[in-house]
Amino acid sequence: MERVLENIKPQKVFSYFEDISAIPRPSGKCDAISEYIIEFAKAHSLEYVRDDMNNVLVKKPSKKEDDKRPVVILQGHMDMVCEKSYDYDAKHDFTKDGLKLSVLDDYIFAKGTTLGADDGIAIAYMLSILDDDSLDLPAIEALFTVDEEDGMKGAIGFDTSILSGKLLINLDHEVEGELLTCCAGGKRVKCTLPVSYEDVSGIGYNIVICGLAGGHSGMEIDKGRGNANLLLGRILHTVTKNMSYSVKYIGGGLTDSAIPREAKAEIIIDPKDVDTLENIIEKYSRIICEEFEGIEENMMIYAENKGEESARCIDRESKRRIGFLLNTVPDGIIKMSRKNEGLVRTSLNSGIMKLSETEFELIINMRSLAESEKDALADKIEYLIETIGGSYTEEYDYPAWEYEPDSDLRDIAFDAFQRMYNRNPKLRGFHAGLECGVFFKKIEGVDIVSFGPDISNIHTPKERLSISSAARVYEYLLEILKSI
């Protein structure tokens, strides 16, 4: 494997990051990265535990036999969100292929795909610390979890009774200079509508929305970015008001934790309506692009004539119910925090839609700093889908990390930041979900702080990791550990 990061310092951090990037690690497929960490622990004669879910705990004792310093838990997740550009190598398989890293100025990125610095840089930090015997640090419990991007499943399933530490440093944030103090809880639900099919002939068309910015459905939900799934639903509703058509296929989005960037519908129309359809798409493409001016500069909406076609399409009633759902489901910010200016309190993202032989599915991710609001929003979605003859399934639910006014670990991290940066860090709540919420509930008396380096456009192929920021934050992490 050609090494592209070998001359970047700190060398251990970026060497491990490059190793990690070569290992396929989508959510649900963390066997290989888990095995890599196990082999690392064996090679360094470190005690380790791997559970049935492939979570790995690696323990490194202090060099001092009579060390009175408390044990510190370092925590990050192994899996990554796997998205690629629509024009990238169609053969790239995230379950088999590693990432193709590249460097431009101060940034590392992956060619055509997400970079997985969320949370690969945390794994690199942790391995580097475990690998450095020159450091005088307290005992470390390095916890590498699986499937954070799929409902925090690894953290939820991990047996925390085998941990002895009560100080937990989570390394899953993407803005240098911020110390997180709390985060939202989340819930993923699946809404399904039964569908029936009929044989249809006419002129086939693809209606496509692509080029949207997308992004993390927690961190970027306040940016006003377009949701390709719901915009497609809006366009199809506009078409419905002007002409008849049948739907062969509709789908969009790859993960519920990312704002969908692309969506497509395959429809069949009467030959006499060709001009009408193309005029509608042209008109509303301009309208929607104007609505998102300054936000979605690369958005494209177009109709592609496929010629004469005969196919199985969903019937009129199925189409009506899908259209109703896509045009009535809430979207984006539901409520802002009253106490913290600029902090989203509750939100919703319709991340995935797909059509099968028997049903239409809409996968929704909702987040809230308040459990009551999250549950109330879920009840609203359940009522909506069941009213139109569908079904509601809750796939996961993870808790919020609640703010603690007194935190010794936060004070240590605050003071270390002041010494290193000669300014105060920003203390903030976080609308995205973190595994901190799970551990806050599962470990009695745990003291938590979360931070990380600058990573932009996570959960999209435009993801970038700042090299200089990653280097500074590693030194900051070491400074905190030395200060405990």
87, pLDDT greater than 80: no
Tokens of 281: 């798409």
How many C-beta atoms lie closer than 10 Å to residue 412's C-beta?
A: 18
Q: Where residue 292 falls among pLDDT bands split at 50, 70, 90?
A: very high
1, pLDDT greater than 80: no
Angle between helices 408-421 and 467-483 (to 10 degrees): 130
Tokens of 394: 């809750």
319: closest CA among 369, 274, 372, 267?
A: 267
Average pLDDT, stretch 345-366?
A: 97
For the domain bounded by 11-173+434-483, which CATH number is listed?
3.40.630.10
Average pLDDT, stretch 330-358?
A: 94
List, as one string, the DSSP characters of 104-168: ETTEEEETTB---HHHHHHHHHHHHHHH-TT-----EEEEEES-GGGTSHHHHHS-GGG----EE
CA gap 21, 3 in Å, rounded: 11
95: closest CA among 114, 107, 82, 84?
A: 82
What DSSP designation does 102 have?
E
Active site residue 118: no
CA gap 434, 79 in Å, rounded: 13
Whether residue 244 contacts residue 270, with contact meaning beta carbons closer than 8 Å, is answered with yes
146, pLDDT greater than 70: yes
CA gap 371, 295 in Å, rounded: 31
Q: Where residue 161 falls among pLDDT bands split at 50, 70, 90?
A: very high
Q: Where residue 409 falls among pLDDT bands split at 50, 70, 90?
A: very high
Active site residue 304: no
Q: Residue 230: its pLDDT value, please?
A: 98
Give the number of C-alpha atoms closer than 13 A to the C-alpha of residue 42, restricted to the C-beta side: 7
Q: Phi and psi for 88 in degrees, rounded to 5? A: -85, 165
Q: Where residue 225 falls among pLDDT bands split at 50, 70, 90?
A: very high
Whether residue 38 contacts residue 56, with contact meaning beta carbons closer than 8 Å, is answered with yes
Catalytic residue, candidates 19, 79, 83, 172: 79
Q: Residue 89: its pLDDT value, please?
A: 81
Whether residue 291 contacts residue 230, with contact meaning beta carbons closer than 8 Å, is answered with no
Tokens of 388: 């139109």
Domain range list for the chain: 11-173+434-483, 188-398
86, pLDDT greater than 80: no
Q: Is 84 helix (H, G, I), strand (E, B) or coil?
A: strand
3, pLDDT greater than 80: yes
Tokens 């639900």 map to which residue?
189
- Evaluated on CA atoms 373, 375, 376, 378, the torsion sign reads positive
Kindly report, residue by residue over 439-458, the tens digit of the pLDDT.
999 999 999 999 999 999 99
CA gap 182, 125 in Å, rounded: 22
CA gap 211, 264 in Å, rounded: 12
Catalytic residue, candidates 19, 118, 119, 148: 148
196, pLDDT greater than 90: yes
For the domain bounded by 188-398, which CATH number is listed?
3.30.70.360
